[in-house]
Amino acid sequence: MEEKQTRKPFPTHILVFLAPAAIIYTLFMVYPLLDSLRLSFFTIGEQNQEIFVGIQNYITLFTDTNYAPRFLGALKNNLAFFAIHMVVQNSIALLLAALLASGIRGSSIYRSVLFLPTVLSVVIIGFIWQLILNPLWGVSESILEAVSLGHLFQPWLGLPETALITVSLISVWQFVGIPMILFFAALIGIPEELLEAARVDGASGWQTFWRIKFPLILPAVGIVAILTFVGNFNAFDLIYTMKGANAGPDFATDIMGTLFYRTFFGQQLQLGNPTMGATVAAMMFLIILTGVLLYIFLWQRRIQEIEM
Amino acid sequence: MTTLTKDHTNPSTSFGYRARRALGGIAPHLVLLLYAVIVLFPIFMIIINSFKDRKAIFGMPFQFPNAETFSLIGYETVFERATFQIYFTNSIIVTVVALVLTLLIGAMAAFALAEYPFTGNTLLGLYLAIGIMIPIRLGTVGILELMVNFKLVNTLTGLILIYIAQALPLTIFILSQFFRQVPRDLKDAARIDGASEYRIFTLVVPLVRPALGAIGIFTMIPIWNDLWFPLVVAPGAETATVTLGVQQFLGQFVSDWNAVLSSLTLAMVPILIIYLIFSRQLIRSITQGSIK
């Protein structure tokens, strides 16, 4: 049996417990991330050596005619992608959660069904919707015709004006279950006395929800917002599956994740460029970090002040 | 809305009241049912059509397969052409090994953070928590370089290590909260009996089993479904996971509707079955976990 160490600061057993996690995490997560950030200040020379170029890669990304339009396009699309999730996904999630938390019969069955798409792979979801929306199969068109809206049908995924909205809504369809459960958990956590008091005062269901319940679940709203933000600015799989690395038509569905992939690995006419890829990743890192810091220092602090 | 005050002494019996009450009871069900249909319909369409011949897929997509239209031609193509067995084996190995190691390594670290107030404890906890919010994908350029240096490109080991690193931060964060709730008396009693710290760890771990289960499911789903890392560090035919395999197979057979529908069904069904069994626990643990 192991003998107890007498030297205080760092006994072996603590080291044994912590070392595997610290090593794997540092080696495969922290180090590569820092290394990527470092590489964004370098370029690869002809002898495969790294040459320090300062912020040249960033200047290229923002001004070069090959990079700037793609980068700004991807950024704009990604913001739209995020906005659609915030508005559509999180509103539907709030509505569903409010209904589920109202003590409705069969609540747990509904929850299981509505959560289901989140456990399926994005690749499967992407292909399923590609088939459902495919004009060749005509399933969506038949459904629209059944409610006499057949004339509205268009190959939404293929048109530059509608492709981004369509893939965003498919992503919403898949992930609405996550904010739904988070809102639901927050709603059922509200103490009954508060709601009882509101009823005694004659508040309507609508008033009770917006004046009492909603302010009380603001912490969950913040968590949902930041999870949506991080998830959206890190998204890739759905667009890659449905529209390929070129995020067509004409880059209409290009977001930061697909831009990163193309820049790093190259595409038909352009060779892959690890240092420019690292630069795109560094921009994604900056965007996500800004969101997370805003959340922690502005949102959470305000919430804590309110709660106190 | 006073209908909820449960005022039994004065039950209103007017028609308007009852109608409104009935509507108020049905409307939420209508909304939820409508949304449930929106969720289930696309999945249902893929599964029923995968058992039909090509003519029926296009001719009557909304109908169940019958004696005339039933066909397994898609499945035959898939089993002939695709190496789904390999994909499934790879996915199972990667997911199970990464999961077990994440739970073991994560529990060890979480236990140490919760149990011993050593210098730098808080700092280390914060350091490990950064990874909860920063996606590991952003370090892909560095990861690929590392994989090349370690000769881990196109190996399952490489994927497993990445997934452990990805899952550790949240695992450690949640588990250390659970370990803090384990009563001191129990551990102190064991220490008085001369148990080593390792022995105490093995005594405490079973007490946080519910948390391990929940974390296990959260860890498993993203690993099984991940496309990015198999695509980037292990794209070879020998190491392709189900997600990557399906993606590549579908890319090639995109015009063979029978094969596409069958392979989608094959890729979905195992997850659907597991979900059917565990969905209640899964959702309950997310619900409880997020209240904490």
Domain spans of chain A, in order of start: 66-307
3 state DSSP class of A50: strand
Contact A28 B146 (CB under 8 A): yes
CA distance B249 to B89: 16
Mean pLDDT of the region A171-196: 92
In Å, how far are A304, B157, B219 from B93, measured between CA atoms?
Answer: 44, 10, 14
Structure tokens at A151: 């004339």
Please give the angle made by the CA atoms of A264, A266 and A272, to the nearest 5 degrees: 60
Contact map slice: B 152-171 vs A, CB within 8 A: 161-162, 164-166, 168-169
The answer, yes or no, to whether the previous bond of A249 is cis (omega within 30 of 0) is yes
Asked if pLDDT for residue A268 goes beyond 60, the answer is yes
> Is residue B148 within 8 angstroms of chain A, CB to CB?
no
Mutate to test the interface with B, among A33, A166, A223 (most CBs of B within 10 A): A33
Please name which of B124, B121, B213 lies closest in space to residue B171, comparing C-alpha atoms. Answer: B213
CB B173 within 8 A of CB B164: no
Asked if pLDDT for residue A1 goes beyond 50, the answer is no
Instruction: Report the mean per-residue pLDDT for chain A.
Output: 91
HEC string of A3-22 equals: CCCCCCCCCHHHHHHHHHHH
Nearest to B128 among A25, A240, A284 (CB): A25
3 state DSSP class of B240: coil
In Å, how far are A181, A184, A195, B25, B83 from A103, measured between CA atoms?
Answer: 15, 11, 13, 11, 47
Domain B82-252 - what CATH class? mainly alpha
CA distance B51 to A202: 56
- The pLDDT, as a whole number, for residue A2 is 46
CA distance B66 to B49: 11
Class of residue B125 by CB neighbours under 10 A (exposed 0-12, middle 13-18, buried 19+): middle
Please name which of B29, B228, B269, B62 lies closest in space to residue A116, comparing C-alpha atoms. Answer: B269
Nearest to B165 among A29, A260, A288 (CB): A29
Please name which of B131, B13, B3, B27 lies closest in space to residue A27, comparing C-alpha atoms. Answer: B131
DSSP A277-305: HHHHHHHHHHHHHHHHHHIIIIIIHHHHH
Inter-chain Cβ pairs, chain A and chain B, closer than 8 A:
270
Contact A241 B247 (CB under 8 A): yes
Torsions phi, psi for A43 (to 5 deg): -135, 160
Mean pLDDT of the region A144-150: 88
Contact map slice: A 27-46 vs B, CB within 8 A: 27-36, 39
Quick one: closest CA in A to B247, which residue? A123
Asked if pLDDT for residue A269 goes beyond 90, the answer is no
Please name which of B116, B101, B96, B73 lies closest in space to residue B204, comparing C-alpha atoms. Answer: B116
CB < 8 Å to B4, chain A? 199, 205
- The pLDDT, as a whole number, for residue B21 is 64
> Is residue A197 within 8 angstroms of chain B, CB to CB?
no
- The pLDDT, as a whole number, for residue B3 is 42
> Is residue B277 within 8 angstroms of chain A, CB to CB?
no
Mutate to test the interface with B, among A6, A34, A123, A290 (most CBs of B within 10 A): A123
CB < 8 Å to A241, chain B? 227, 247
Q: Tell me which residue has tokens 């397994």.
A: B72
Please name which of A173, A188, A222, A176 lies closest in space to residue A98, comparing C-alpha atoms. Answer: A188
Nearest to B283 among A30, A96, A181 (CB): A181
- The pLDDT, as a whole number, for residue A37 is 96
Quick one: closest CA in A to B56, which residue? A137
Mutate to test the interface with A, among B37, B122, B138 (most CBs of A within 10 A): B138
- The pLDDT, as a whole number, for residue B18 is 65
Contact A121 B146 (CB under 8 A): no
Residue of A305 and A225 predicted with greater confidence: A225
Looking at CATH, the fold of the domain delimited by A66-307 is given as MetI-like fold (1.10.3720)
- The pLDDT, as a whole number, for residue A299 is 85
Q: How far off is chain B from A119, nearest CA to CA, in Å? A: 6
Interacting residues of B112 by C-beta distance below 8 A, sequence separation 6+:
A14, A17, A18
Interacting residues of B111 by C-beta distance below 8 A, sequence separation 6+:
A17, B175, B176, B179, B201, B204, B205
Tens digit of each residue's pLDDT (9 = 90 or more) over A177-188:
999 999 999 999
Structure tokens at B73: 């031609």
Asked if pLDDT for residue A7 goes beyond 60, the answer is no
**Cα A48 to the center of its chain, rounded Å:** 35
CA distance B112 to A225: 32
> Is residue A156 within 8 angstroms of chain B, CB to CB?
no
pLDDT > 70 fraction of chain A, expressed in percent and rounded? 95
Quick one: closest CA in A to B257, which residue? A131
Tens digit of each residue's pLDDT (9 = 90 or more) over A21-53:
999 999 999 999 999 999 999 999 888 899 999
Amino acid at position B84, single letter: F
The domain spans of chain B are: 2-74, 82-252
Mean pLDDT of the region A232-238: 95
Nearest to A2 among B161, B162, B198 (CB): B198
In Å, how far are A3, A288, A301, B191, B203 from B195, measured between CA atoms?
Answer: 10, 46, 43, 5, 10
Spans of chain B below 50 pLDDT: 1-12
Contact B280 A108 (CB under 8 A): yes
ipTM confidence score: 0.88
pLDDT band at residue A307 using 50, 70 and 90 as cut-offs:
low
